[in-house]
A and B are shown apart, each in its own frame.
Chain A
């Protein structure tokens, strides 16, 4: 089975712009979670989608949003980019997101905001 894929792998944006990141889960996985990883804050949970519905959300401002399509692929969007949004954004998929199921991580998208 192919693993979790994320596109693009690297991205450079300027403050005020918006960005869309894409994640394709492992075939058969219906839960997709997004995480932000920074040196200062570590790995932080953004949100989780299951069957096109956001089931859970972390403590991030409304500029961070996401969606999931019927084929379980997911996108996250960050509007009005700030310098502090520079990070590695990781997507993880699991069968059903119930907690006991293993989350499989993609390679991440590294976003640099100038």
Chain B
């Protein structure tokens, strides 16, 4: 079974400040990890993903995340927040095997507010 915990349902930062959104996962198989962003009344857009290889993953819009197996974490960071980053962010885990076919398990989401 797989699960994702996102710490903090709401995060507020000032424009130009560091963004840190936390995600911890649980998986019985090697995990594939994803961060998505959702703007109001829209679907989910992929920011970045980890499958194998380098544990520091760079994504779009200046976001990056580091896979830490020992801590079962995949936290999302951005050095300098922009007003346009205000949205809801979801961490997701998927895995190999028939029981995981086509299925991603999502965290509850973190709403990011950026103050001017």
Contact = CB atoms under 8 A, between A and B. Distances in A.
A42 B109 contact: yes
A103 to B, nearest CB: 6
Interface in A100-114: 100, 102-108, 110
A33 B103 contact: yes
Given A102-B34, A105-B44, A31 B51 contact: no
B43 A45 contact: no
A28 B45 CA distance: 19
A87 interface: no
A45 B101 contact: no
B96 interface: yes
B101 A97 contact: yes
Query: Per DSSP, are chain A's interface residues mostly helix, strand or loop, or mixed?
Result: strand
Interface residues of A, number: 28
B46 interface: yes
A55 B108 contact: no
B42 interface: yes
A29 to B, nearest CB: 11
